[in-house]
């Protein structure tokens, strides 16, 4: 749902499907308001000592409200 709401970043159906498929096998976090997702992030471990954000998104109307920052904090805590 979040990816589809961000066509400027995730507008190619093939790459969107690939991102979704990869998120299924990676550490994955979702920010919720009640039962509604507001954003997500997934982590890709690139080596034993390094990781990177694989995919991340926050619903457009919710940007600049700290949701992405909270997801980044969760990713960082997991990676430590």
Handedness of CA 45, 51, 54, 55 (dihedral sign): positive
> What's the pTM value of the predicted model, to 2 decimals?
0.84
pLDDT at 62 over 90: yes
Q: By C-alpha distance, which of 46, 41, 47, 49 is closest to 75?
A: 41
Cα-based distances in Å from 74 to 7, 21, 67, 79:
25, 21, 11, 9
Per the structure, the count of domains in the chain is 1
Average pLDDT value for residue range 13-28: 88
Task: Report the CATH number that the domain containing residue 67 is assigned in CATH.
Answer: 3.40.630.30
Look at residue 18 and tell me whether its pLDDT is greater than 90: no
Mean of the per-residue pLDDT values for the chain? Answer: 91
| Segments forming the whole domain that contains residue 28 | 3-79
């Amino acid at each position: 749902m979040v990816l589809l709401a961000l066509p400027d970043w995730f507008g190619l159906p093939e790459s969107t499907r690939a991102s979704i498929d990869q998120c299924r096998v990676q550490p994955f976090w979702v920010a919720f308001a009640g039962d509604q997702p507001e954003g997500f992030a997934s982590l890709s471990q690139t080596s034993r000592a390094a990781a990177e954000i694989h995919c991340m998104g926050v619903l457009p109307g919710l940007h600049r409200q700290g949701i992405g920052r909270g997801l980044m904090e969760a990713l960082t805590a997991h990676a430590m």
